[in-house]
Amino acid sequence: MKVPAISLLAGTLFGAGLTISGMADPARVRAFLDLFGAWDPTLAFVMVGAMVPMAIAWLVQKRMPRPIVCEAFDLPGTSLLDAKLLGGASLFGIGWAIGGLCPGPALADLAIAPIEAGIFVAAMLAGMTAHRIITK
Amino acid sequence: MMLPGFPNATPVAGLVGGLLIGLAAAIMLLGLGRIAGVSGMLARASGISDTGTPRAIALAFIAGLPLGALLVILSSSSIRPLFTGSVLQLVIAGLLVGFGTRLGSGCTSGHGVCGLSRLSRRSMVATLTFMVSGFATVGLMRAFGFING
């Protein structure tokens, strides 16, 4: 039970951080992406704030033989650049701009605006399912 | 605190919230040895993907996201996200985000927060791509009159 409990704690902190930072506010996300309007740089501060603990964590990780609780690190590769990466990120960027939501904030917003966030999350799951069917 | 020239910006709330996000991702990395990638964990938790993070870990993390948001809005009366789009807009956006994050193996959390801070070439390219794509899309929405003001 210890491992899911740590994951729940991390998810809760993550959701709280998204909400406090403004990242879970579609209007603010849109304002950040709106270079030709009344540009709102807040999300740049969110990224800087998130980078600091994570950059330190990566430095610590290099010196650790294994994570504190689990048996081994299970991390993705870092170098492969392909059309899937570019195409996927491009489509994601379009959706992020249209809805003002990315996956984490959409899930956090289920607690705040369940109808709007629920519609988005349902469509997002449908998009993920479509990808699975196509790539099978 | 205000940022000169940007009356709507909330830099301190942004930094504080960002630190919490980074701390949460650091707990996942150093505690459980995993990337805090939301799109991947959602696919795993929902059963859409069979590989990646063990399902119990993914489910717990995903459940935490609305829980954390709830705790914040219960303790603050000023934080209220603003949804302005139509249902059609939400549906199109959700489909693109779902499909795109699976095809591109990550979103703002995995590629953005975790990958950039790791100096992963793959994540740097992905983040640059979705940022540019997002800027261009909002620019086009403005040009075609979907955004006013």
- In this prediction, residue A32 carries a pLDDT of 96
Q: Which residues of A touch B5 (CB under 8 A)?
A: none
Distance between A29 CA and the closest CA of chain B, angstroms: 10
Partners of B6 in beta bridges: B3
**ipTM of the complex as predicted:** 0.96
pLDDT given at position B5: 83
What is the C-alpha separation between A2 and A69, in angstroms, rounded?
8
As a whole number of angstroms, the distance between CA A42 and CA B9 comes to 5
Question: A99 or A37, which is more confident?
Answer: A99
> What is the model's pLDDT at position B36?
96
Residue type, A54: M
Q: What is the pLDDT of residues B121-145, one digit of tens each?
A: 999 999 999 999 999 999 999 999 8
pLDDT at B83 over 90: no
The closest of B81, B141, B111, B6 to A42, measured between CA atoms, is B6
Chain A hits for B110, CB-CB cut-off 8 Å, are 76
Q: Output the pLDDT for position A12.
A: 98
Q: How far is CA B26 from CA A10, A49, A112, B113, B114, in A?
A: 9, 13, 26, 10, 9
Specify the amino acid at residue B63: A
Percent of chain B with pLDDT over 90: 83
pLDDT digits (tens, 9 = 90+) for B16-35: 999 999 999 999 999 999 99
Q: Does the pLDDT at position B77 exceed 80? A: no
Q: Where are the domains of chain A?
A: 2-135
For A102-134, what is each residue's pLDDT tens digit? 999 999 999 999 999 999 999 999 999 999 999
User: The tokens of B124 are what?
Assistant: 């740097």
Question: CA A43, CA B8: separation in Å to the nearest integer?
Answer: 12
Q: Provide the shortest C-alpha distance from residue B145 to chain A (in Å).
A: 12
Q: Is the pLDDT of residue B76 over 90?
A: no
User: Which range is least confidently modeled, A7-11, A14-18, A96-100, B6-10?
Assistant: B6-10
pLDDT of residue B78: 79
B residues 81-140 lying closer than 8 A (beta carbon) to A: 81-85, 87, 89-105, 107-118, 120-123, 125-127, 129-139
* Smallest Cα distance from A65 to chain B, Å: 10
